[in-house]
Structures are given as C-alpha cells and as structure tokens.
Amino acid sequence: MVADTIRLLLFPALMAFAASSDLFTMTISNRLSLALVVGFGILAVVTGMSLAEIGMHLAAGGLVLTIAFGFFAAGWIGGGDAKLVAATALWFGFGHLMDYLIYASIFGGLLTILLLLFRKLPLPEMLARQPWISRLHDAAGGVPYGIALAAAALVIYPKTGWMPGTGL
C-alpha cells in the first residue's frame, strides 16, 4: 500500500513541481533532484528491485548526468535542468531512457518555438507587471526547459515498471 502510494504520487508530484518552478522562477531546486534520487532509492528497496537492476538505473542516471554536465559546462542548458534530467533517468533506467529523451527533445523544441513566438508579441501592461511573465517574454532570457523534461517524464512514467500492480 505504501509503495503504491509512493509510486502514484511522489514522481508525478515532483515532476509537476519542477515544471512549475522552472516556469515561475527559471530555477529547479537541488532539493527537488535530491528528493527524486532518495525517492528512487526508497522505492527500489521497498519494491524489491534487484541490485543488478538498481545498478543499471544508477548507470543510466550517471551517464545522463555526465552528458548533461557537459551541456551545462558548454552553456547549452541550466544546472537545474542537468540535475533534473539525470535524476529522471535514474527512475527510468536504460529501458525507457531513449523514449524519455526523444519526448523531452520534441516537447523542448515545441516549447522553444512557442516561447520565441510569444516573445515577438507585444506584452500587455497587465501581464508585464508579472515578473515571471516579463522574464519569459525577455528575448535575452532562457527557455524553462524543465517544463519539457517534466512533461516528457509524465508521458513516459505510466509505461514504466513502476506502475504495474497499482490496480490502474
């Protein structure tokens, strides 16, 4: 019962929080990524995941963290995005990693296009008073890619081994 509750609530709630945090503040807390890592560890133990499986999930997360850190060092993504994608890869392992990255790329591309179009529109005064909207509208601003990462994670998550046995 506890494991099912964790499976159904923890990961989706943390992903929703990551997306909203990135939208409103352009930051993804280290605590959020840490919560994902700890949540994975607890759930892996509670559900009886084998050490070999845990190792493969850790390898997937480590590989993605290494690549994402390179992207961060090059200035292509933010540090919060790098940690979020790695923590998410830990949950998905290699079995669902490629699907996740493909969805994240598609959603990220769409998000970027929509944001570029939004930035070409004049911003009504009422919206301009909202700091988070002004930040999104700023042509020199970045893209809150955590939204795409979280959306992709929420699309892939129901297809993973975390969901069977929950009665859904």
The string of pLDDT tens digits covering residues 23-55 is 999 999 999 999 999 999 999 999 999 999 999
- Given a cut of 50, whether residue 168 has pLDDT beyond it is no
> What confidence category does residue 114 fall into, taking pLDDT thresholds of 50, 70 and 90?
very high
Residue 167: per-residue pLDDT: 44
Mean pLDDT, to the nearest integer, of 2-18?
A: 90
The pLDDT of residue 162: 85
Q: Name the nearest CA neighbour of 40 among 27, 56, 28.
A: 56
SS (H, E, C) 31-59: HHHHHHHHHHHHHHHHCCCCHHHHHHHHH
* pTM of this structure: 0.92
Distance (Å, whole) CA 160 – CA 115: 31
Q: Is the pLDDT of residue 166 over 60?
A: no
Mean of pLDDT values over 93-114 = 97
pLDDT tier for residue 96 given thresholds of 50, 70 and 90: very high
The pLDDT, as a whole number, for residue 118 is 95
- The structural domains of the chain, with segments of one domain joined by +, span 2-159
Query: Average pLDDT for residues 123-127, to the nearest whole number?
Result: 90
